[in-house]
Amino acid sequence: MIELRTPAEIEEMRPAGRFVADVLTRLAAEAAVGVNLLELDALAHEMITQRGATSCYIDYHPSFGAMPFGKVLCTSVNDAVLHGLPFDYRLRDGDLVSLDFAASVDGWVADSAVSVVVGRARPEDARLIEVTTAALDAGIAAAQSGSKVGDISAAIAAVATSAGYSINTDFGGHGVGRTMHGDPHIPNNGRAGRGYPLRPGLVVAVEPWFLQSTDEIYTDKDGWTLRSADGSRGAHMEHTIAITDDGPIVLTARG
């Protein structure tokens, strides 16, 4: 079911957005050579506790997950692009890591992701992150009242295809509110002018993710982490936004 939020409810969602943004800003700064993925997850857990927030991930067990997630942060490194289950791994120079985090504050959820390179970035990795960021910006810019979900999808796809990346539509954006995942689904490819109307009060996560040389993925033996079929690297960017008459509000804006 798709729910529309009142202006007052969107204001109530702002603290969740700010908290998620602050956590990702801190984690991105802490992601350095030698830092363990479990240390990043522990830091996110500590920040959740200090804020009195609730993790959206730790007990999450959808049909595509082998078991409850068990951690509070997704850490996808190099050929992993989504749902990366933190494990005992120390980041190395040149690693591309995507950090995906969602939490509930006062009953409202926000969801966001960012990709960074640890240490020295390879040119192809820097380009992948740049294109994925541009696709996120384009998707948000297309999220105007009176438009359609397909307008967001088409805007994201136009950036990806112009850069030579193919697109997987198995996972994409989604509604956000009292829970982390809701309707409507927002694929990263679609036809402009098609799909659910974007109305004031609709709150969604827009989340482009691309792989360097494939759109095929498989699930790692950990039962969660999604990796590229050919070993190429991936990047993932995401913001929670609210549709208003005056344009989209980015609830998880960082910085």
What's the CA gap between 55 and 16, in Å, rounded? 11
Does the annotation place 100 within a ligand binding site? yes
Does the annotation place 124 within a ligand binding site? no
Does the annotation place 174 within a ligand binding site? yes
Q: Where are the beta strands (DSSP E) in the chain?
A: 54-55, 74-77, 80-82, 96-105, 108-117, 173-175, 182-186, 203-206, 209-211, 217-219, 226-228, 234-236, 239-242, 249-250
Does the annotation place 61 within a ligand binding site? no
The overall longest dimension of the chain from CA atoms, in Å, is 48
Q: Which of 161, 162, 146, 253 is nearest to 206 (CA)?
A: 253
Q: Which of 54, 157, 110, 132 is nearest to 251 (CA)?
A: 110
Does the annotation place 207 within a ligand binding site? yes
What's the CA gap between 108 and 243, in Å, rounded? 16
Q: Which residues are annotated as a binding site for substrate?
A: 83, 181
Q: Which residues are annotated as a binding site for a divalent metal cation?
A: 100, 111, 174, 207, 238
Q: Which residues are annotated as a binding site?
A: 83, 100, 111, 174, 181, 207, 238
